[in-house]
A and B are shown apart, each in its own frame.
Chain A
Amino acid sequence: MELHEHLFRREAGRIVATLTRIFGVEHLALAEDVVQDAFCRALEVWPFRGVPENPSAWLMATAKHRALDVLRRERTARTFAPELGRLLESDEQLVTEDGIKDDQLRMMFSCCHPRLPEAAQVGLMLHILCGFSVDEVAGAFVSTHAGVEKRLTRAKQVLAESGRLFEIADAADFATRLPAVHRALYLLFNEGYHGASPESAVRAELCREALRLTALLFEYPLASTPATYALAALMCLHAARLPARLDAAGHLSVLADQDRSRWDPNLMAEGQRLLERSAAGPQLTEYHVEAAIAAVHGSAPRVQDTDWAQIVSLYDTLLTIRPSPVVALNRAIAVAQRDGPERGLEEIAAIADRGRLAERRVVERIVGELELRQGRGESARGHFRAAVGLARNSMERQFLEQRIEAC
C-alpha cells in the first residue's frame, strides 16, 4: 500500500488538534511529543508489517495510547480522571472524521488569538495544523531557526495561557474571530505566492495548505460567509497561474510573459465559481476585489486582451478598502498598461509613501520596465541594477540580470 502524499504532515495537524481538545490546551507540548512518538512507532513497524489499512486511525490510536501512558506515568491521572474515563470507554468519539474536523477548526481559530501578531498566527497554523517543523517554517518565511523557534514558543505560551481553545459553537465569538482567520490564511497563501524564498515545491505547498485550510471553513455554515468564498476564489485564481510562473528553462516568468496555456483551467473555473458565490450579500471585502482582479487576468487569453480599464477601477476600489503603497503601485502598473508607460511613471512618482515602500525592489523593477518601454535604456538599466541589489533570491537576481541585458 502506498502512503498518501504528506500523510504524516496532515496527520500531525489532525492528531495535535484532537489531543489538545481532549487533554487541554495546556498540554499542547504533550500532544506534539506523542505525535512524534506515534510516527517513530510507525517507522519501526510499518516497514516490516506493511502499512495498516487505515493509517490515520492507526496513528491517532497510537498517539492517544502513548498520551495516556505518559499521563499515567506522571501520576497526573487523577487530574484527568474524567477525561481518561471517557476516553477509555469510547474510542469512536475520538476518531470520527467530523470530530477531527471540528478539532482542526477549533485549533485554526485558536491560533488566531488577538494577543498574537499576525506573523505568529500564521507560523503557529503552519506549525501546529500543517505539521511544518521549525526549520520548515523558517525556510518558508526566510527566517532563522532561532527566530522562528522563539516566535513559536512565545505563541504557544499565549495559547496555553488562554486556558482553553476557541469555542466554535458561539456564533458571536465566531463572527468576531473569523476576519483574523481569513487574514492569516491570506498571509499564508501570499507567503507561498509572493514570498521571498526561491520558487520551490515548498512555496507551492504553502499555497496548497492555505487552500486546504480555507476549504475546511466551507464545512461550517457560520464560516461559509461571502468573504470566505471570496478568499477561496482569490486563492484558486492565483494558484491556477502557479504552473506558468517558471518558464521551460526554469526561469521566473512575470504575468505578462507567462505561457497562459499552462494555467490550470480547473482551478481557474473553480475560482470563477467561488467568486460568483461570494457575490451574495452586501459585504465587499478586499478578498472580493483581489479575486475580481485575478479573474480579469484569468479571462484574458493573451496579455493584450486584458481589460486594463476594469483592473484600474478595481484597484481604485481596493485603495478605498485597504489603502497601501503596494496597492497604489499595482494600480500604477495597470494605469501604465491602459494609458502608456509615461502615465504609469507619473502615478508611481505620485505615490505618497514611495520612499518608505517596503517593496522598493518591485518599484525599481517596474520603473525600469516602463523606462525601457519608453526607449530610455540607460535609465532602465539603472533601475534594474538597483533592483538587483534588493533581490531576495538568486532567481529574482537572474531574472533582473536578463532584463539588464535586454536594455
Chain B
Amino acid sequence: MSEFVYLYRSTDAASRAAMGSPEQMQKSMQTWMAWMKQLADKGHIKNPGHPLERAGKLVKGKQRTITDGPYAESKDIIGGYTLIEANDLAQAVELSMGCPILEGGGLVEVRPVLKTGM
C-alpha cells in the first residue's frame, strides 16, 4: 500500500453556488459522508484529515511580504485534505472519482506521498 494526499480544491463562487437550499445542502452533506464512509470501510483512509479555513496569510519571498491569502494567488482554494492508502496512483485516482466536490465544480488533486525510506 502507498499513501496519497487528496487536496480538495474549489473556488469560493463554485462552492457557494453548489450550496442551494437547506435540503440541497443536506443532500451534499450526505453524499460527502457516504463517500468518506465508503473509503473508510474499504480501509483506504489513513487519516480523514482536516478542513482548512478560507482566510489565511501568505508569507512570500526574501522580503517576507505578508499578504492576505490565498485568494490573490490561486483561483482554487484548498478546502481540506485527506490521507489515503491505495495500491498505486491509478487506484488513488479511481477512488477520487466519487468525490462530491466534483459535482460542485471543484477538483481533487491526488498527490503521492514521497516515501523517503530509511
The residues of A with any CB-CB pair to B shorter than 8 Å are 3, 6-9, 11-12, 35-36, 39-40, 42-49, 51, 131-133, 135-136
Contact with A along B52-78 (1 / 0, CB 8 A): 000000000000000000000000000
The one of A7, A9, A47 that contacts B36, using a Cβ cutoff of 8 Å: A47
Contact A133 B29 (CB under 8 A): no
Contact B82 A48 (CB under 8 A): yes
Cα–Cα distance between A170 and B114 once the two chains are bound (Å): 69
Cα–Cα distance between A151 and B79 once the two chains are bound (Å): 37
Cα–Cα distance between A212 and B82 once the two chains are bound (Å): 40
Q: Say yes or no for B22: interface residue by CB 8 A criterion.
A: yes
Q: Say yes or no for B105: interface residue by CB 8 A criterion.
A: no
Cα–Cα distance between A133 and B23 once the two chains are bound (Å): 8
The one of A11, A35, A133 that contacts B20, using a Cβ cutoff of 8 Å: A133
Residues of A with C-beta under 8 A to B80: 44, 48
Residues of A with C-beta under 8 A to B29: 3, 8, 42-43, 46-47
Cα–Cα distance between A108 and B4 once the two chains are bound (Å): 51
Cα–Cα distance between A374 and B29 once the two chains are bound (Å): 57
Distance between A356 CB and nearest chain B CB, rounded to angstroms? 37
Residues of B with C-beta under 8 A to A132: 21, 23
Q: Say yes or no for B28: interface residue by CB 8 A criterion.
A: yes
Cα–Cα distance between A43 and B32 once the two chains are bound (Å): 8
Cα–Cα distance between A12 and B21 once the two chains are bound (Å): 10
Contact B23 A8 (CB under 8 A): yes
Residues of A with C-beta under 8 A to B35: 47
Cα–Cα distance between A6 and B26 once the two chains are bound (Å): 7
Contact B48 A49 (CB under 8 A): yes
Which one of B22, B29, B82 has the highest number of Cβ atoms from chain A below 10 Å of its Cβ? B22
Cα–Cα distance between A133 and B22 once the two chains are bound (Å): 8
Contact A39 B25 (CB under 8 A): yes
Contact A47 B19 (CB under 8 A): no
Contact B22 A46 (CB under 8 A): no
Residues of A with C-beta under 8 A to B50: 48-49
Cα–Cα distance between A6 and B23 once the two chains are bound (Å): 7
Given contacts A42-B25, A48-B48, A131-B21, 17 further A-B contacts (CB under 8 A): A6-B23, A8-B25, A8-B29, A9-B21, A39-B19, A40-B25, A43-B32, A44-B51, A45-B51, A46-B29, A47-B29, A47-B33, A48-B49, A48-B82, A133-B20, A136-B21, A136-B23
Cα–Cα distance between A36 and B15 once the two chains are bound (Å): 12
Contact A11 B51 (CB under 8 A): no
Chain B contact residues, majority secondary structure: helix
Contact B32 A47 (CB under 8 A): yes
Cα–Cα distance between A101 and B19 once the two chains are bound (Å): 27
The one of B15, B21, B51 that contacts A133, using a Cβ cutoff of 8 Å: B21
Pairs A–B under 8 Å by Cβ, sample size 17: A3-B33, A6-B23, A8-B25, A8-B26, A35-B22, A40-B19, A40-B25, A43-B19, A43-B25, A43-B28, A44-B80, A46-B33, A48-B80, A48-B82, A49-B50, A132-B23, A133-B21
Distance between A24 CB and nearest chain B CB, rounded to angstroms? 23
Cα–Cα distance between A55 and B118 once the two chains are bound (Å): 45
Cα–Cα distance between A39 and B79 once the two chains are bound (Å): 15
Contact B21 A135 (CB under 8 A): yes
Q: Which of B1-37 contact A (CB under 8 A)?
A: 15-16, 19-26, 28-30, 32-33, 35-36
Cα–Cα distance between A11 and B23 once the two chains are bound (Å): 11
Closest 6 CB pairs of A and B: A133-B21, A8-B22, A47-B32, A8-B26, A131-B22, A44-B51
Contact A44 B79 (CB under 8 A): yes
In the complex, what residue of chain A is closest to B47 when comparing beta carbons? A48
Please judge, given known A-B contacts A44-B80, A48-B82, whether A12 and B22 are in contact too, CB under 8 Å: yes
The one of A3, A44, A45, A136 that contacts B26, using a Cβ cutoff of 8 Å: A3
Contact A3 B30 (CB under 8 A): yes
Contact A7 B26 (CB under 8 A): yes
Cα–Cα distance between A59 and B19 once the two chains are bound (Å): 16
Contact A36 B19 (CB under 8 A): yes
Residues of B with C-beta under 8 A to A133: 20-24
Contact A9 B51 (CB under 8 A): no
Distance between A45 CB and nearest chain B CB, rounded to angstroms? 5
In the complex, what residue of chain A is closest to B22 when comparing beta carbons? A8
Distance between B37 CB and nearest chain A CB, rounded to angstroms? 10
